Amino acid sequence: MVRAEVDHGTAELVEDPDRPRSWTLLVDGTSQSHVDLDDPTHLEFEYVRRLGHVLDTRPPGPLRVLHLGGGAWTLPRYVAATRPGSPQRIVELDGALAALVADCLPAEELDGGVHVEDARAALEATAAGTADAVVLDVFAGSRIPAHLTTVQCVRAAARALAPGGLYAANVADAVPLAFARGQVAAFTETFAHVAVVVAPSVLHGPRFGNLILLGSDALLPDAALVRRLAADPFPARLLDDAQARAFAGDAAAPTDRTAAPSPLPPPGFFGRPG
């Protein structure tokens, strides 16, 4: 195990007893990432697998991806392996954490693309139309910071996307899913096409868990994504555009003046792997 003080807490890298050269990154006891250095296409966490499925349904060839939230660079490693030559930029607020990952879990194809910056500031500074995909996966401890949950943040992501590009945001909530509904409302106010990837046990309860929100100005490949989600060892449901808008209902999209961080998970939910 590797343990180090970083800018925003205590980071630990814990070896995976079941997979050689695989590590779980924790910050203040909260699991942030899992990385297999020998096989970057192995995605351990359920929600990261679903993000991988989403990116797999993008048009073939390299993708220009902006990753908001670095962790141990799990998804950027996956994209580099499955779509060689993809220009990627990783934004991570914690510079000491980024340095720790670079030292202990190096990925030469990604090191130059890691930027120490606030995710919202980096997003707003991104030139319009320059990303094929923007992925938001930022947690301060176990909560998503309020300034990344607003309709203004979603609009900034939409501005950064090239025509046909995709914004994917990882959020966490539990029934009655009030926070998630507000997040979907921000997407429906911004994008022509939206969708939600969610496990039935999160959608209907009782489980606290992740929802992946998708937005684009182009039709989403629902059928291809449904097939991938159904074939996964941890199947999830896809709410298509109509279902996602119905899910949001009359929820108000949070703004920079009204937003709050995501709900606290139950004790131990994001804790140390067993």
pLDDT (tens digit per residue) in 150-183:
999 999 999 999 999 999 999 999 999 999 999 9
Domain count, the chain: 1
pLDDT in tens, 226-249: 999 999 999 999 999 999 999 999
- The pLDDT confidence band at residue 274, using thresholds 50, 70 and 90, is very low
| 271: pLDDT strictly greater than 80 | no
Asked if the structure places residue 33 within a domain, the reply is no
What whole-number percentage of the chain has pLDDT above 70? 97
Residue 11 lies in a domain: no
Residue with tokens 């006891």: 29
Residue 17 is assigned to a structural domain of this protein:
no
pLDDT value for 264 = 93
Residue 52 belongs to a domain: yes
pLDDT in tens, 63-77: 999 999 989 999 999
pLDDT value of position 109: 83
Q: Give yes or no for a contact between 150 and 186, defined as CB atoms under 8 angstroms apart.
A: yes
Of 177, 184, 193, 126, the residue nearest 154 (C-alpha):
184
Distances 72 to 31, 101, 239 between C-alpha atoms, Å: 11, 6, 29
* pTM, to two decimals: 0.95
255: Cβ contacts below 8 Å, ≥ 6 apart: 150, 151, 152
Asked if residue 31 is part of any domain, the answer here is: no
Domain extent, residue 174, equals 41-248
Answer whether residue 59 is part of any domain: yes
Q: Indicate the pLDDT class of residue 56, thresholds 50, 70 and 90.
A: very high
pLDDT in tens, 13-38: 999 999 999 999 999 998 999 999 99
Check residue 261 and give its pLDDT.
96
Nearest-angstrom CA–CA distance, 111 and 101: 10
Strand order through the sheet with 193-198: 114-116, 88-92, 65-68, 131-136, 161-173, 209-216, 193-198, 237-239
Average pLDDT over the chain, rounded to whole? 95
In a domain, 29, yes or no: no
The partner residues of 149 in beta bridges, in order of sequence, read: none
85-139 pLDDT, tens per residue? 999 999 999 999 999 999 999 998 886 789 999 999 999 999 999 999 999 999 9
DSSP the chain: -EEEEETTEEEEEEE-TTSTTEEEEEETTEEEEEEESS-TT---SHHHHHHHHHHHTSPSS---EEEE--TT-HHHHHHHHHSTT--EEEEES-HHHHHHHHHHS--HHHHTTEEES-HHHHHHHSPTT-EEEEEE---BTTB--GGGSSHHHHHHHHHHEEEEEEEEEEEEE-TT-HHHHHHHHHHHHH-SEEEEEE-HHHHSSS--EEEEEEEESS---HHHHHHHHHHSSS--EEE-HHHHHHHHTTPPPP-TTT--PPPPPPTTTT----
Task: Assign 268 a pLDDT band (cuts: 50, 70, 90).
Answer: low
Question: Where residue 85 sits, what CATH number does that domain have?
Answer: 3.40.50.150
% of the chain exceeding 90 in pLDDT: 92
* Residue 274 placed within a domain: no
